[in-house]
Structure 1
Amino acid sequence: MTDNISPVTLDNASSNKHNELEKTSPLSVLQCGNDFSEYIKLYSPSKVLAFSQLFPNATAIISRYLKLPTSLLLVNSRFWLNAEQVLKEAIPNELPSDYLLSYNQESLFGRLSVSGHEISYSEGILTKLNNGALVLNVSPLLVEPNLWFKLKSVLQRGYLIASDAVNGERIKQTLPDLKSQPINIKLVLVATRLQLEELIQIDPEYTQISSLFCELASQIPANQDAVNTIANYCQHLTQKLSIEPLDLDALNTLLKALSIECQHQQQLLFDPEFIQQTINYANLVSDENKISKDDLNNYFKEIYEAKSLARKYSEQSILEGQVNLQLSGENVGQINGLSVVELLGYPCEFGEVFRISASDMIGDGEIIDVERKVELAGNIHAKSTHIVQGYLNHFFSHISAFPFSCNLVFEQSYQESDGDSASLAILLAVSSCYAKFPVKQDVFVTGSLDQHGNVLPIGGINQKIESVTRLFELGLISNPVTIVMPKANIINLTLNDQTLVLIEQGKMLIHAISHCHQAFPLVLNKQFEDVIKTINYRIELANKEEMEESSSSLFSRLKHSIFH
C-alpha cells in the first residue's frame, strides 16, 4: 500500500506556506460599503450642465462625425436621457437638430392628402430638418422595420419619394415629384447592444450605409468629475422643482444608491432617469421644501418593499418550516450555500439561503450530481461539479482505485438552476462527507473554483449576503455567523445599512478568500491537509477490509475444495 500522506503534505515548507495562506480575518465595515462624502466636500456647484466630459471618446467621435460625409452614427447607450444630453452638448447650436424618442411614418416622411383632383403633401421631420441632425431612439424602427428600410433608402439615394409618405402607396393618381429637394441629414440612432443586434437580424446589410459607432457607458468611475456631474444634475433637478439643493448627506445617500445599482465600490450608475425619478418621488414624501437623507431612504425602502412579494413568500416558507435549514450546530456532508433568485418578468432579484448535502457510498470517485441527472441544472453547473471532482481526485492520484463516490443534492430545489457559484460549497460538502468531519451550520459559503483550487468571483454577492441579514431580521439566528466569499468580490460589496450594522456589531463575520484551502478551517475547523490525510486513512481501511474479505473468501474456497 502506498503512503497515505497526500503529495501536497510531504514538503514541510509547502505545508507551512498553506498554513499561512489559510489565515484570514473578517472584513471591516469600511471594506463592505463606500462613502462619497470626501468627494462631495470638494464639489463646487456649476450652472452649466455637462455630461460630455465623462465621455471624451464618444464626444470626439460625435464632433468628427458631424464634419464627415458619413450619414449615420450609431450610439450605444443604455439610457436615452444620457445620450440625448451628451449629443446636445456635442452638436453645435447653429446646426438644426431634433430628438425623437417616439415617432412614426407620418412624423418622419410626411403625409399625402387628396382634395378633389389635387394632392397635397405635408412635410415630415426629414424635410423640415434638412441639413441638420436627427437623433432617433431605435425602438420604433425595431417595432416597425418598414420605417428603417425607408430611412435607409432615403440616406442612400439622398432624396425623398412621395411613396415614402403616409398614403403614398394607396393613392392611384400621379404622385408629386420630391426629387428636386435633396435630403442631406445627419442621422443618429441611439440603441443598446441588444437592439443593435436585433437591427442586424432585421437587416443584415445595414452596413451598406457608411456609419460610425460610439458608446456611452452606463457605469462610470467614481471620481471627482463623476460626483461633480451627478451633483450638478441633482441641483439642476431641484431647481426645476423649486426646492432647496440636496445637502451633503442627501447627495451621499443618492451616490451610494447609484453605487449599489452597479454593485461596485468604484463605479456609479449614470442613469439620469433613475436620478430624476428618485428626486421626484422623494420630493413627494418630503414634509419640507427640501429633500433629506431620510426622504431618500424612505423612497428606496418603499420601492424595495413594493417589489418584495416573491421574497416574502420565500421567507414565509422558511418561518413555517417548509424549507428545512439548519442554522446552528454541526453536520457531516451538509452546508449552507447562497444563491440569487431570478424570476421571469420580475423586476428585481433577491438572495436566498439553500442547503447542499452529500452522502458517500462505495464507488470510483464520481460526484453524482442529482440536479444534473434529473435535468434541473444547466451546463455551467455541470461543468463546476466536474471541476470540483477533478480537483479533489487529483490529491488521490497515487491510489490505484478511489473506493468512494458521493451523491450530491441541492435540497428542496424544484426549479431549474444554473451557475458555478456553489463550487466551493460543493467541495466542502464532499470533503466533509469523505473525511467524516462535520461542517459548522452557522457558516454560509459562496464562490466559484478553477481546477487549481483558486476561488473565483461570482455574481450577486450583495443579494447573497443580505439574504443572511434577513435571517437575523426574521429572528431565525441571533448568534454571530460566518460568511465565506471570494476575495475578488470585495470590490463589489455595496451592502445595505442593516447588514453593515451587523458587521459592525460582530454578528456577521465575512471572510474573503482567494484559495479553497483557506475555507477549510472556517467551515470544518480542520486544515486541508488534515482532511486529505483522513480521507487517505479511510481509503486505506477500505482497501484493507477488501483484501481481508478477499483472503477470507479464497481460504474458504480452498478449504471447501480440500475437505469436500
Structure 2
Amino acid sequence: MTQTCLPSSALAPQFNLPAQLSSSIYSSHLLLGQQRVVDSFVLCSKLAEQHLFLADFPGVNRVKFIQALTLQASTPSDAYLVASKQNGDTSFHWQDMVVPENVGTITVKDELFTYLHGKITRAQLIGKVTKKANATQYEAGALAKHHYVYICVESLWKREKLWELLAQIIEDGQYSVNSELAPIPLNCKIVLVGSSLFFSHLREEDKLFMKQFAMLAEMNHELDLTKHSEHQYMQWLQAIAEIEQVQLDISAIRPLLWYSAKMVEHQQRLSLNMIAMGQLIAQANVYSNETQVSAKAVSTAIEKQIERHNSSEEYAAQNFDDKFITLPTDGDMIGQINGLTVIDTGDYSYGEPARISTTVHYGDGEVADIERKSELGGNIHAKGMMILSACLYRIFGRDAPLHLNANIVFEQSYQEIDGDSASLAEYCCLMSAIAETPILQSFGVTGALDQFGNVQAIGGVNEKIEGFFKLCKRRGLTGKQGVIIPRANILQLNLEPEVIIAVNEQQFFIHAIDHMDQAVELLMQLPAGEADEHNTFPDSSLYGKVQQRLDRLAGHEIEAETPSFLARILKRLRSTE
C-alpha cells in the first residue's frame, strides 16, 4: 500500500522569519504585492486623456492605500486657474506658472488627492458659485482643487445624475458650474474605486465607460511567498500596526503570519486584508500588558475572536455529546461512513461530521440520491452523485447492465446539502454495502471524485479535519482515529496546534490520497484489487467481493448451481436403479 500518512511537519506553514523587526517603515510598504496596480497608476498619470479604474476588495483601507499609491507617481506642480478675455468673451485656462499679482486667480490646484465616497454632491465634485455683497465667487470642487480625484464607484452609481455628469465632463474635457461662469477645463486624473465585478458590469452597461476608463488596476488580495519574502510581509504588518498606533514585538510576527495564511487557506500565501489584520492587531494591543504586542497577546486575540463567533459550533457539539446525533468514531459497520462537512454561518465556519449510509438491493442499476429526491440536495451534490455512478459503471458495468439499486443518504440532515466533496465517502460507502464488508468508523472522509476515480481537492479542509478531531478528542483519542483527505489539499493545511501535537504523538492520523482505491483499502483493510484481461478481480480483494455480489444479484451463480431439466431426470433415473 502506498504511504499516505502525513507527518506533522506538513500540517501547517513553515516560515523563515528574520531575527528582528525593521527599523524604518514607510507608506510604500502598504503596496506589497501590488506592483500591477502601481505600474498601471504610474502609466495612467502620464497619459493625458485616459483615466483609471482601481479594482480593490472589501479588506482594503482605501484612504491609506490611496495615499501610498498616489505618492508613487511624480508629484505634479501647482496649477492656477486664470481667466482671459478674447473678443469680449471670458474663458478659463490652467497654467503652471505663478500668476502675477495683477492677474486674477480663480482657484489654485495645490492638493495632491482626495477620495469622494458616501453621499457625494454636485458641489463636492465641481464646486459652486456663491454671491456675497453683489460679488460672484467660485468655490472650487474636487476636480479643480486636486490633481488626483478618487471616487467610490458604488456611491457615484447610486446618484444617476452625477454619474452622467462625470461621464459628460470627461467626454467634453470641461464642465460648467452654472450659466454665469465660463466652462472650466478638466485638469485632473480621475480614478474610480470599486470591485472587479463592478468594472465588468460597467463595461456591459455603459458605452462610454471603456473609452473613458480604459485602464484597469486590479489589486491582489493575497501575497505569494514564492515571489516575496516573509521579511517584506513583516514590513507590511508593521505599516498596518502604525496605522493602528501599535508597536509589535518580533514574537508577534509568527502568529500573525499563521492567522494570515489561515485566512487564504494556503501554506505559501498570505492575506493582504488590511482591515482584518489591523483589527486583530488592535485587539491584541488591548490584551497586551506590555508596550509592545507579543505572541501571547496575538494568540489571545485570536482565541477571543473565535469565542465571539462560535456559538453555533458549540451547540452542534452538544448535540453530538448528548447523543442526539448518532455518529460512531470507533468499531466498524457495513454501509456506513463518516463524511466531513463545513457549516458556514456567514461570519464563521466550522467542520461537522455527517453520517452517510447506503443500502443496496436488486434493481435496474439506479444509484438514488435521497437528498436530491427529498429536495435537500443542491445541483453540485447531484453532479457528484452522477460521477459516483459513472465510477461504478466504469469498473463493473462495462459489458452488461448492473442489476442493483442503491440508496445513499446523509442521516439526520435537515437542511440543504451541496457540493461534491462527499462523493469519495459516498463511493466507499457504496462499495461497503455491495461487498458486505465493514468500514472502520474511526475515520472521517472527504474528497471529490472524477470519473476515473482520481480524488480532487475540496474546500474547507482545515475546518473538516478540526471538526472531526474535536469530536474524537471529546470522546477520547484512541490512537486509531484519523481523516482521509485529497493529496491536492496538502498545501492548504494550517491546523490548530492541538491537532499537530496529536498527530506527532500518533494519537490522530491524517491520510492524503490520490485515488479512491487508496481510500477503500484504508477503510476496509482489504486490497482494492486489479482486474485481469477478462475484467475479473481476485476473489479475496474488495472489488472481487463487489463483483461476486453483483453476479449474485444478476442471477449468474443461481443459474450455475440450479441443475437443468435433463440433469434432474437423469439424477432421478439413477436413484431408481
| TM range, smaller chain | 0.7 to 0.9
Worse overlay, 314-323 or 255-264: 314-323
Q: What is the distance in 2 between the residues matched to 1:479 and 1:276?
A: 40
Q: What is the distance in 1 between the residues matched to 2:217 and 2:69?
A: 12
Q: What displacement does 1:39 show?
A: 3.1
Q: Highest Rg: 1 or 2? A: 2
The alignment status of 1:254 with 2:256, answered yes or no, reads yes
Q: What displacement does 1:285 show?
A: 1.0
Note if contact 2:144-2:188 (Cα within 8 Å) is conserved in structure 1. Answer: no
Structure 2 residue aligned with 1:40, among 4, 8, 18? 18
Structure 2 residue aligned with 1:536, among 527, 547, 561? 547
The alignment status of 1:490 with 2:490, answered yes or no, reads yes
Structure 1 residue aligned with 2:38, among 59, 70, 73? 59
Instruction: Please show how residues 348-363 of structure 1 align to structure 2 within 5 Å.
Output: 348-363=348-363
Q: Which residue of 1 aligns with 2:451?
A: 451
The alignment status of 1:146 with 2:161, answered yes or no, reads yes
Q: Which residue of 2 aligns with 1:439?
A: 439
User: Structure 1's 466 and 70: CA in aligned 2 closer, same or farther, altered over 3 A?
Assistant: farther
Q: What is the distance in 2 between the residues matched to 1:191 and 1:24?
A: 48
Structure 2 residue aligned with 1:276, among 271, 275, 278? 278
Q: Which residue of 2 aligns with 1:527?
A: 527
Q: Secondary structure of the residue that 2:165 maps to in structure 1?
A: helix
Runs of 5+ in structure 1 lacking a partner?
1-21, 164-174, 557-564
Structure 2 residue aligned with 1:209, among 208, 212, 221? 212
Q: What displacement does 1:548 show?
A: 7.9
Q: What displacement does 1:87 show?
A: 1.5
Q: What displacement does 1:156 show?
A: 1.1
User: Structure 1's 140 and 239: CA in aligned 2 closer, same or farther, altered over 3 A?
Assistant: closer
User: Structure 1's 241 and 453: CA in aligned 2 closer, same or farther, altered over 3 A?
Assistant: closer
Q: Secondary structure of the residue that 2:451 maps to in structure 1?
A: coil
Counterpart amino acid of residue 60 in structure 2: W
User: Structure 1's 238 and 404: CA in aligned 2 closer, same or farther, altered over 3 A?
Assistant: closer
Structure 1 residue aligned with 2:231, among 228, 232, 241? 228
Q: What is the distance in 1 between the residues matched to 2:315 and 2:204?
A: 40
Note if contact 2:196-2:218 (Cα within 8 Å) is conserved in structure 1. Answer: no
Deviations 1:274-299 (CA, angstroms, capped at 9, x unpaired) = 22212211111111112111100110
Q: Which residue of 2 aligns with 1:6?
A: none
The alignment status of 1:185 with 2:164, answered yes or no, reads no
Q: What is the distance in 1 between the residues matched to 2:243 and 2:424?
A: 52
RMSD: 2.8
Q: What displacement does 1:512 show?
A: 0.5
Q: Which residue of 2 aligns with 1:50?
A: 28
User: Structure 1's 59 and 479: CA in aligned 2 closer, same or farther, altered over 3 A?
Assistant: same
Q: Which residue of 2 aligns with 1:126?
A: 143
User: Structure 1's 217 and 545: CA in aligned 2 closer, same or farther, altered over 3 A?
Assistant: same
Q: What displacement does 1:539 show?
A: 2.6
Q: What is the distance in 1 between the residues matched to 2:506 and 2:368?
A: 38
User: Structure 1's 292 and 420: CA in aligned 2 closer, same or farther, altered over 3 A?
Assistant: same
User: Structure 1's 377 and 86: CA in aligned 2 closer, same or farther, altered over 3 A?
Assistant: farther
Q: What displacement does 1:443 show?
A: 0.5
User: Structure 1's 53 and 284: CA in aligned 2 closer, same or farther, altered over 3 A?
Assistant: closer
Q: Which residue of 2 aligns with 1:285?
A: 287
Q: What displacement does 1:479 show?
A: 4.3
Q: Secondary structure of the residue that 1:355 maps to in structure 2?
A: strand
Q: Which residue of 1 aligns with 2:47?
A: 68
Q: What is the distance in 2 between the residues matched to 1:397 and 1:140?
A: 59
Q: What displacement does 1:71 show?
A: 3.1
Q: What is the distance in 2 between the residues matched to 1:360 and 1:448?
A: 22
Note if contact 1:377-1:416 (Cα within 8 Å) is conserved in structure 2. Answer: yes
Q: Which residue of 1 aligns with 2:2?
A: 23
Note if contact 2:144-2:187 (Cα within 8 Å) is conserved in structure 1. Answer: no
Q: What is the distance in 2 between the residues matched to 1:534 and 1:330?
A: 18
Q: What displacement does 1:24 show?
A: 2.1
User: Structure 1's 145 and 201: CA in aligned 2 closer, same or farther, altered over 3 A?
Assistant: farther
Note if contact 2:167-2:208 (Cα within 8 Å) is conserved in structure 1. Answer: no
Q: What displacement does 1:555 show?
A: 12
Q: What displacement does 1:307 show?
A: 0.8
Q: What is the distance in 1 between the residues matched to 2:275 and 2:71?
A: 18
Q: Which residue of 1 aligns with 2:72?
A: 90
Q: What displacement does 1:476 show?
A: 6.0
Q: Secondary structure of the residue that 1:133 maps to in structure 2?
A: strand
Q: Secondary structure of the residue that 1:336 maps to in structure 2?
A: strand
Deviations 1:94-131 (CA, angstroms, capped at 9, x unpaired) = 462223454511322334567899876533211222xx
Structure 2 residue aligned with 1:110, among 102, 127, 144? 127
Q: Secondary structure of the residue that 1:339 maps to in structure 2?
A: strand
Q: What is the distance in 1 between the residues matched to 2:401 and 2:513?
A: 32
Note if contact 2:479-2:506 (Cα within 8 Å) is conserved in structure 1. Answer: no
Q: What displacement does 1:266 show?
A: 0.4
Q: What is the distance in 2 between the residues matched to 1:107 and 1:400?
A: 76
Q: Which residue of 1 aligns with 2:300?
A: 298
Q: What is the distance in 2 between the residues matched to 1:213 and 1:337?
A: 43
Worse overlay, 287-296 or 144-153: 144-153
Q: Secondary structure of the residue that 1:46 maps to in structure 2?
A: coil
Q: Secondary structure of the residue that 2:175 maps to in structure 1?
A: coil
Q: What is the distance in 1 between the residues matched to 2:72 and 2:242?
A: 24
Counterpart amino acid of residue 143 in structure 2: L
Q: What displacement does 1:237 show?
A: 5.1
Q: What displacement does 1:236 show?
A: 4.0
Counterpart amino acid of residue 535 in structure 1: V
Q: What is the distance in 1 between the residues matched to 2:342 and 2:246?
A: 39
User: Structure 1's 418 and 239: CA in aligned 2 closer, same or farther, altered over 3 A?
Assistant: closer
Counterpart amino acid of residue 430 in structure 2: V
Q: Which residue of 2 aligns with 1:427?
A: 427
Worse overlay, 185-194 or 111-120: 111-120
Q: What is the distance in 1 between the residues matched to 2:544 and 2:387?
A: 21
Q: What is the distance in 1 between the residues matched to 2:398 and 2:185?
A: 81
Note if contact 2:223-2:270 (Cα within 8 Å) is conserved in structure 1. Answer: yes
Q: What is the distance in 2 between the residues matched to 1:535 and 1:373?
A: 26
Q: What is the distance in 1 between the residues matched to 2:491 and 2:206?
A: 41
The alignment status of 1:161 with 2:176, answered yes or no, reads yes
Q: Which residue of 2 aligns with 1:505?
A: 505
Q: What is the distance in 1 between the residues matched to 2:566 and 2:411?
A: 44
Q: What is the distance in 2 between the residues matched to 1:205 and 1:376?
A: 45
Q: Which residue of 2 aligns with 1:3?
A: none
Q: What displacement does 1:485 show?
A: 0.5
Q: TM-score, normalised by structure 1?
A: 0.84
Q: Which residue of 1 aligns with 2:105?
A: none
Q: Which residue of 1 aligns with 2:265?
A: 263
Q: Which residue of 1 aligns with 2:575?
A: none
Q: What displacement does 1:271 show?
A: 1.9
Q: Which residue of 2 aligns with 1:80?
A: 60
Q: What is the distance in 1 between the residues matched to 2:242 and 2:192?
A: 31
User: Structure 1's 539 and 499: CA in aligned 2 closer, same or farther, altered over 3 A?
Assistant: same
Q: What is the distance in 1 between the residues matched to 2:294 and 2:354?
A: 38
Identity of aligned residues (%): 27
Aligned pairs, number: 517
Worse overlay, 411-420 or 472-481: 472-481
Q: What displacement does 1:477 show?
A: 5.0
Q: What displacement does 1:245 show?
A: 3.7
User: Structure 1's 149 and 500: CA in aligned 2 closer, same or farther, altered over 3 A?
Assistant: farther
Q: What is the distance in 2 between the residues matched to 1:243 and 1:373?
A: 56
User: Structure 1's 111 and 307: CA in aligned 2 closer, same or farther, altered over 3 A?
Assistant: farther
